[in-house]
Structure 1
Amino acid sequence: MAHWYESSIDRQLREATERGEFENLDGTGKPLRGYGEEYDEDWWVKDWLHREGATAGVIPPTLALRRETEDLEDRVDRLRTEREVRDYVAGLNERISKARVGLMDGPPVVLPPFDPDRVAEGWRERRSRG
């Protein structure tokens, strides 16, 4: 005689089915969204935007942070003093630290922190040239 084992999850699913909790769900009988379409690398971002009801110009905070780091020189070049540059880099590094440990919404990021001395040096050099 074989013994049948029912896990707690299997039991919860069976009981919910018996109560009819899976009947008449939204989307029943409809294909899954995106089924049969070509794979899109940005599926997570697009799905997030759709779920959040976000407008096209809004992106998850971690992606906005990544974009901000790509534009770092342009951003610091708008600052007037070296103290402002160093404060900006300190704030940016703090947000990078939060993103690296998952404390910001969005896909994971592995951005390195910026060296405030190097950023300030680059800022001074660009300022002296122009």
Structure 2
Amino acid sequence: MRPQETWVERQIREAAERGEFDDLPGAGRPLREVDTSDPDWWIRRKMADEGLDAGDALPPALQLRREAAGYPASLVGIRVEDDVREILRDYNARVLRERRRPVAGPASPVLAPTVDVEEMVVGWRALREKVAAHESVSGPAGAADPGPTAASRRSWWSRWRARRSSR
């Protein structure tokens, strides 16, 4: 053992001498850069590697607010008005359920707004008419569109409707 060499350093040196570190995956490739100005660089990289959305880590009330901000545009893919109404009623029910949840601590809770179902249905109809007019001018939707990318995600109501129809 060399002077001032610890047991761990000796193990590493001996393994290197035996060639145990040769032909490791990624050998010869540069290390990915680390953004040292961002203390959360490692979690951002892990989420990107795993294909996770940071919005999924939000508290429920903020997820609901985010969902409401997308209405009625996020409902354009729904073809039946009753399904749109059901989705909006479900959203309102989830908002009310979140409001009834007990709050811990002295801070006032973040509240998500309920939506006016009729107002959103009117907006949904207007957007559907715009989409239909655009499709009649440019051809059927998806003719030149290669489809969703692997990174795109299905909305919660698409998953819910698929699960509901499979019952």
Q: TM-score of the superposition, structure 1-length normalised?
A: 0.49
Structure with the larger RCO, 1 or 2 (CA within 8 Å, 6+ apart): 1
The structure that has the greater radius of gyration is 2
